[in-house]
Structure 1
Amino acid sequence: MRYNRPAMARRKAPEELSVEELRRLLVEKRRGARKDRLEHFRRTGRAVLLAPDLADANPLPSTPEIETADSAVPAPEPLPVHPKRRLLDRILLGVEVLAVLGLAAVIINGVGLLQTLNTEVVEALNPETAVPTPLVMAVVLPSGHTPPDAQGNTRPNEAEIPEHLLPMVQSLANMPVPTAAPDQAVRIQIPALNVDAPIVQGDGWEQLKKGVGQYIGSSAPGRDGNLVLSAHNDVYGELFRYLDRLVPGDQVIVYTQQRQFTYIVDRTVLVEPTAVEVMSPTASPTVTLISCYPYLINDQRIVVFARLQD
C-alpha cells in the first residue's frame, strides 16, 4: 500500500517574498527578540509581567497615515502691506543711509583734523630758522634823474622826492656798500637787447655811473627773494634804454663769481617814481629791472619782472 507523504511547505527565498510577508517576518523577529529580553529580565528579577504582551493582539503595526496633496492645508496668503507702512519703511531706510553717510563724513573730517594737528605739532617742535626780511627803505625808485641837456649833463631829480622825506633820502645815500661775496651778482646779460654789463653794489648816483646797480639788501641771485637791479636809459651807457622791448619768455642772465642764473621775463609795468612796492621781497627767486621812462623824459619808471628758470 502506497502512502502519499504530505507535501511539505516549500521555503521561499527572500526575493520571492512579498512586501507584506517581509513586514510580517520583521515584526515576528522583533517580537521574539523583545520576549527574550523580557524573559531574561524576569529571570533576573529586573522586570515583572503585569499583563500579556499587547503586541500579540496587533501583530502588524498600524499603517501610518500619509498626508497627500489633497489633504494638505494650503499656506496662508501674505497680508497686503499698507501704503503708509511702505512709505514709513522707505523713510526709515533713508534715515539709516543718511546716518551712515554722516558717520563716514565725521570720520573723514576727524582724520583730516588729526593730520592737521600732527603737522602743527611737528612744526611747533621743529621751528624753522627765522630769516630776516630786508626792509624797503627807499622813498623813490632808483635811477631817477633830470633829462640830459644838449651837452649831456644831468643830475638826480630831487623834484620826485616829497619835501618832508628829502633828509631821509640824503641820509640813505651814505649807506655803506657791503663787502663783496662769492654769491653776489657781478654781471648781467639780456640777449634780446644785446646788454652785457657789470653789476655794482648800490644804486646811488655814483654807482649807476659804473654799470647796473643792485639795491642794497635785495636778494642774491638764485635765492628766494627779489633781486632789484636798476640802470639809466639815456645817460651813462643807456644800459636799460630798451627795456620796453622785452616780452614774456625773454631771458635775463645774472652771473656771480661761481655760476650763472637764468631768469625768464614774466611781465612789464609802468609805475610812478614813488611805487617802491615793486622792490618788496618775494617768496620765490625773482629779478626786477628798473629804469626811467620814457626816453629823455623820465617822469615814470619802467619795471620788468622775471622769474628764475626751473
Structure 2
Amino acid sequence: MRRKAKSPEDLTIGELRRLLMEKRRNVRQDRLEHYRRTGRVVQLASNQPAELDINPVIETSEEELAPVTEKSARKSWADRLLLAVEVIAVLGLIGIILSGFGILRDLNAEFASALEQPTMAPTPLVMAVVLPSGHTPPDTNGNTRPNEAEIPDHLRPMVQSLKDLPIPPSSPEQAIRIQIPALNVDAPIVQGDGWEQLKKGVAQHLGSANPGETGNMVLSGHNDVYGEIFRYLDQLQPGDEISVFTQKRQYIYEVSGTVIVEPTQVEVMAATSNPTTTLISCYPYLIDTQRIAVFANLIN
C-alpha cells in the first residue's frame, strides 16, 4: 500500500533539508547533462571527483542544531529579562520624579506656613495712669475737683499729655446709651473719660472696644457728683444685666463679678479675648479713695 505523502508542514527540519539537497542535486545533474550534450563539459581525470558542487549544501543533523536552538532560547530569555529591567528602571525613575515633586510641594507649603505669622488680636495699650472718674469728695456746697493727689508725681506729665487725645468722630458702632435695670440707671454715653466728659454722663475710655466687639469696653461714671449715675454699682450681683445701645442695635451684658481696687490698678482696663465691659467708679461713697470695678460678659 502506497504511503500517503506528507505535507511540507508535517516535515521536520532535517527532512526539509534532505529534500532541498536532493532537489539541488537533480538540478545540477540536469545542468551537467545539458552541458555534455552541447560539448561544453571537459571530462575530469579519474582521480578527480566526477562532480564539483559549486553550491555545496552542508547537511546538519537535529543533534547539531539543538545547542544553537538552546542558545537562541537563552538569548531570547536574556533579552526579555533586560527589557523587564529597563521597564522597571523607567518606572522607578518616574516614581522618583513624582516623589520629588511631592517633596518639593511639601517643602514649599512648609516654607509658606513658616512665613505666615499668626494674626494676633491687637491689644490696645492701657492709656491711663490711674483709673478714671477720680475726684475729691464733694464739700457741703457740692463742689469737687479732679483728685491729682492719687497720681504719682513722676507720672503727672503723662496724665497731662493724655488729656490732649482727640475725641474720635461719631460712628454708628459707638455706644450712645446705657441701661442697668437692677439700679434704675438710664444714662447717655460719651466718648472719652476726661473730667469734662464725665460731667455729661457715662464715659467710654478712648481705645476700648465698641459694643459687641471682641475686647473690653471700659465705661466709667461718678458715684456722688454729677448725677451719681454709678452710686450703687456695689449692689450689682452676678447675673444682672447691662444694656448698651448704639445707633444700630442693643447689646446685653451679664455681670460676672465685682472687685475693689486701688486707683493705680489700671490692669482692670486691659483688653480681653471676649466681648466684655467693665464699669468703673470711685469708692466708697463720699470718700472716693478707691475704685469699684464691675465685670460683665456679652450674652446677646
Q: TM-score band (shorter)?
A: 0.5 to 0.7
Does residue 256 of the first structure (1) align with residue 246 of the second (2)? yes
Aligned to 2:130: 140
Does residue 169 of the first structure (1) align with residue 159 of the second (2)? yes
- Distance in 2, matches of 1:256 and 1:152, equals 33
Aligned-partner SS, 1:206: helix
- Distance in 1, matches of 2:182 and 2:227, equals 17
- Distance in 1, matches of 2:231 and 2:111, equals 53
Q: Could you list the runs of 5+ residues in structure 2 that have no partner in the other structure?
A: 1-108
1:41-94 deviations in whole A, cap 9, x for unaligned? xxxxxxxxxxxxxxxxxxxxxxxxxxxxxxxxxxxxxxxxxxxxxxxxxxxxxx
- How many pairs are equivalent? 194
Query: Map of 1:68-83 to 2, 5 A cutoff?
Result: none
1:285-309 deviations in whole A, cap 9, x for unaligned? 0000000000000000000000001
- Distance in 1, matches of 2:111 and 2:233, equals 48
- Distance in 2, matches of 1:160 and 1:172, equals 16
Q: Could you list the runs of 5+ residues in structure 1 that have no partner in the other structure?
A: 1-118
Which of 194, 202, 206 is 1:204 aligned to?
194
- Give the C-alpha shift of residue 126 in structure 1: 6.6
Query: Map of 1:21-60 to 2, 5 A cutoff?
Result: none
1:93-148 deviations in whole A, cap 9, x for unaligned? xxxxxxxxxxxxxxxxxxxxxxxxxx999965876655432110200000000000
Does residue 180 of the first structure (1) align with residue 170 of the second (2)? yes
Aligned to 2:148: 158
- Distance in 2, matches of 1:147 and 1:121, equals 62
Aligned to 1:235: 225
Aligned letter for 1:265?
V
Which of 276, 280, 287 is 1:286 aligned to?
276
Does residue 246 of the first structure (1) align with residue 211 of the second (2)? no
Q: Identity of paired residues, percent?
A: 70
TM-score (norm. length: structure 2): 0.61
**Segments ≥4 residues shifted beyond 4 Å:** 119-131
- Give the C-alpha shift of residue 250 in structure 1: 0.2
- Distance in 2, matches of 1:294 and 1:277, equals 20
Aligned letter for 1:254?
V
Aligned-partner SS, 2:198: helix
Aligned to 1:53: none
Does residue 274 of the first structure (1) align with residue 264 of the second (2)? yes
- Distance in 2, matches of 1:123 and 1:191, equals 50
- Distance in 2, matches of 1:177 and 1:223, equals 19
Kindly report the root-mean-square deviation, in angstroms, between the aligned alpha carbons of the 2 structures: 2.2
